[in-house]
Amino acid sequence: MAYISVFDMLKIGVGPSSSHTLGPWRAAEQFLMELKQTHYYHKVTKVTVQLYGSLSLTGKGHATDSAVMLGLSGQDPVTMPVEQIPFLLNEIKTKKELKLSNEKSISFNPELNIIFNKNFLPFHPNGLTFEAFNENELVYTSTFYSIGGGFIIKENEDTDKKNVRAELYPNPINTADELLNYCVTQNKKISEIVHDNERTVRTEEQLHQDLIKVWHTMLECMYIGCHTEGILPGGLEVKRRAFDMHENLKDDLKYSNPQEWLLAIRETEVKFRAILKWVSCFALAVNEVNASLGRVVTAPTNGSAGVIPAVLMYYMVIENHDATEEHVKQFLLVAGEIGSIFKKGATISAAMGGCQAEIGVSSAMAAAALCELLGGSPQQCLIAAEIAMEHHLGLTCDPVGGLVQIPCIERNSMGAIKAINAAELALETDPKNVKVPLDKVISTMWDTAKDMNSKYKETSTGGLAIKVSSPDC
């Protein structure tokens, strides 16, 4: 099995969905790379994109069509100025022309060249096929599957050939039991075990910079969300709430940037009810930015991007006013590793497992990470992750209008609060008395995912999606 890095689980990208936006965007980039390896690239006059299954059913609301256009245009979701996105998309739609790989102009009408095919491909619910034509002759085709968290694969692809095998790392980890064994035998924290693995492919300075870049992206996202008012795009007319919550909470705080904002909140005396409101505000802020095609950290998905930053912010402004970048790195290392274990043992795709695979996993990641920062043992950190997931088992994904807004945004707030509660419960738990180990919950989550009716797996064909009136997305 290939090693899954912390940075695979915590990717910087653009909202609103890792599986329906970031994955298809990356698939378009991969398609361009494949096309350039053939002698057809310069002869291509037309490209069509077939979206299958969940990508088709909720693709409009999840901006899948926008993602493939941006990817085909050669834009990078990590570095592209997000404020340019609507202008570029409008230009393509107006001119009915796309600059392939930002190099070669071809005719492209989104209404004709992007086909929403509601059929499901057998390999995975999130399938998409790119087709390249020279005039009317099909010259190249490639099918991808967006499997959650921005990961893409091709059917029967040997991913180990593309990635460093886990066995080449000092601590190859596939299960929670394996992780715990390394911690016990080496007398190390979870973050230290993960740090040793990450140092296999990064220098200490690179690891530091990359982790802090993830944190700064999270912090900026929370800041933007707390300082932006209005209505979310998509037609549901959902009002942003983080702005008003923040206005009511901040009193007369003085600051001019995200770092000063963080320090200013630390200096306030926060009472119990206000703690809950601050955590909810942080989580809502992130996912309102996500719903607006803003830049977020996929953690482990875009739909659940608010849980981990909200819990980390909670630690920094409530639990430990002296927290440093070392604490941030420790938190992210633990969270990333717990997420990778869920991905290996189950799924992080709502199209495969419902929202338990997104909010449930993110809550488990945050709970374990917070538990370590609060002084929990490795055993207690895994207990925290287990508690968080146990109380998300069976959570469905039924987005209204196919948009990552209702109930998705509020669920991040709930997932963050549950993570904090799970960490506190774990700290009061003697590992000797644990009845349900984390690996058993992961296995149960996967069984639940396979048993779950497909209409509750990001198709908008069941639950709230059909009970609540919505625009035609």
Identify the pLDDT of residue 1.
62
pLDDT digits (tens, 9 = 90+) for 390-405: 999 999 999 999 999 9
Answer whether residue 87 shows pLDDT above 90: yes
Mean pLDDT, to the nearest integer, of 240-249?
97
Contact partners, residue 380, CB within 8 Å, separation at least 6: 371, 426, 427, 429, 431
Q: Quote the mean pLDDT of the chain.
A: 94
pLDDT digits (tens, 9 = 90+) for 340-359: 999 999 999 999 999 999 99
CA–CA distance, 339 with 344 (Å, rounded to integer): 9
Identify the pLDDT of residue 164.
55
Mean pLDDT, to the nearest integer, of 60-80?
95
Phi, psi at residue 52, to the nearest 5°?
-115, 155
pLDDT digits (tens, 9 = 90+) for 319-328: 999 999 999 9
CA–CA distance, 149 with 300 (Å, rounded to integer): 5
- Decide: helix, strand or coil at residue 327: helix
Residue 150's CB is within 10 A of a number of other CB atoms, namely 26
Contact partners, residue 8, CB within 8 Å, separation at least 6: 149, 151, 336, 340
pTM recorded for the entire structure: 0.93
Mean pLDDT, to the nearest integer, of 221-239?
96
Contact partners, residue 366, CB within 8 Å, separation at least 6: 307, 308, 310, 311, 312, 335, 388, 415, 416, 419
Identify the pLDDT of residue 155.
81
Identify the pLDDT of residue 160.
43
- pLDDT category at 473 given cuts 50, 70, 90 is very low
Sign of CA dihedral 320, 384, 183, 7: negative
Identify the pLDDT of residue 270.
82
What does the buried/exposed string (b/e) look like for 274-295 if buried means 16 or more CB atoms within 10 Å of the residue's CB?
Answer: ebebbbbbbbbbbbbbbbbbbb
Q: What percent of the chain has pLDDT over 70?
A: 97
- pLDDT category at 162 given cuts 50, 70, 90 is very low
* Window from 100-114, 161-175, 315-329 with minimum mean pLDDT: 161-175
Q: What angle do CA 11, 452, 9 make, to 5 degrees?
A: 10
- Length of the chain as a residue count: 473
pLDDT digits (tens, 9 = 90+) for 179-212: 999 999 999 999 999 999 999 999 999 999 999 9
Mean pLDDT, to the nearest integer, of 446-461?
96
Identify the pLDDT of residue 269.
81
Residue 109's CB is within 10 A of a number of other CB atoms, namely 14
- pLDDT category at 161 given cuts 50, 70, 90 is very low
Answer whether residue 159 shows pLDDT above 60: no
End-to-end, the C-alpha distance of the chain in Å comes to 39
139 compared with 469, residue with greater pLDDT: 139
Q: Which of 206, 202, 208, 201 is nearest to 164 (CA)?
A: 201
Identify the pLDDT of residue 472.
54
- pLDDT category at 123 given cuts 50, 70, 90 is very high
